Amino acid sequence: MINQLYAITDTLLLPGEKLFLGVEAALKGGCQLVQYRDKSTDTRRRTQDAKRLLVLCNQYGAKLIINDDLALALEINAHGLHLGQGDGDAKTARLRLGADTILGVTCHDSLELAEAAIGDGATYIAFGRFFSSNTKPDARPAPLGLISEAKQKFPQIDIAAIGGIDLSNAGDVIASGANMLAVCQSLFAADNIETRAQAFTQLLK
């Protein structure tokens, strides 16, 4: 299992061309995993954005994960798909994506949801939020001890932590057993995204 910075895009922080500039800066800073998260209904623009991001990720040897849109992930042949609870069936997604595509599932604060996700073919499980989060302000809080429990119960699976993670608390999250730091605000709102990505990457080493 590799420790990875997992950058989550945000249409408010990265409107228009800033999306590609911001993601490239994160990639230059060592980020190897990018999730394209856009909840708008503009299917054409989302498809164009995702295709451009895929080219960028391939250029830097990184992986592009599509948030909650199986059809888009299949259309552009993305490296992976992330599903929230209620945003699609993980078992169906695994069948359609094939065995080699990354599949992540949001499990909030529940080991039971994690066990179900792994049974459905998830490559990684995501817990959180662990701290106050601008991206998911209404998400249920989860204790850091949950990561340690999950690591003991599911030693074979990658664990992503999300929700208010920044440089001041990332060390605690890593120490708890998460090997994927999912960050949005603390990365893409930084004055220098590349430098911020480098700082996270150093922590993960």
pLDDT in 10s for each residue of the chain, 205 residues: 789 999 999 999 999 999 999 999 999 999 999 999 999 899 999 999 999 999 999 999 999 999 999 999 999 999 999 999 988 899 999 999 999 999 999 999 999 999 999 999 999 999 999 998 666 566 678 899 999 999 999 999 999 999 999 999 999 999 999 999 999 999 999 999 999 999 999 999 9
- Residue from 40, 49, 106 nearest 78 by CA: 49
* pLDDT for the residue 133: 67
Domain range for 89: 4-204
Unique residue bearing structure tokens 């999912």: 182
Spatial separation of the C-alpha atoms in residues 120 and 138, rounded to whole Å: 26
Domain count, the chain: 1
CA torsion sign for 188, 189, 195, 201 is negative
* pLDDT for the residue 137: 63
Spatial separation of the C-alpha atoms in residues 141 and 71, rounded to whole Å: 30
Q: What is the pLDDT of residues 146-179, one digit of tens each?
A: 999 999 999 999 999 999 999 999 999 999 999 9
Q: Record the tokens describing residue 12, joined without a space.
A: 């408010």
* pLDDT for the residue 134: 67
Q: Amino acid identity, residue 120?
A: D
CB within 8 Å of 20: residues ≥ 6 apart: 52, 53, 56
Spatial separation of the C-alpha atoms in residues 106 and 114, rounded to whole Å: 8
- CATH number, residue 29: 3.20.20.70
Spatial separation of the C-alpha atoms in residues 115 and 156, rounded to whole Å: 12
Spatial separation of the C-alpha atoms in residues 117 and 119, rounded to whole Å: 5
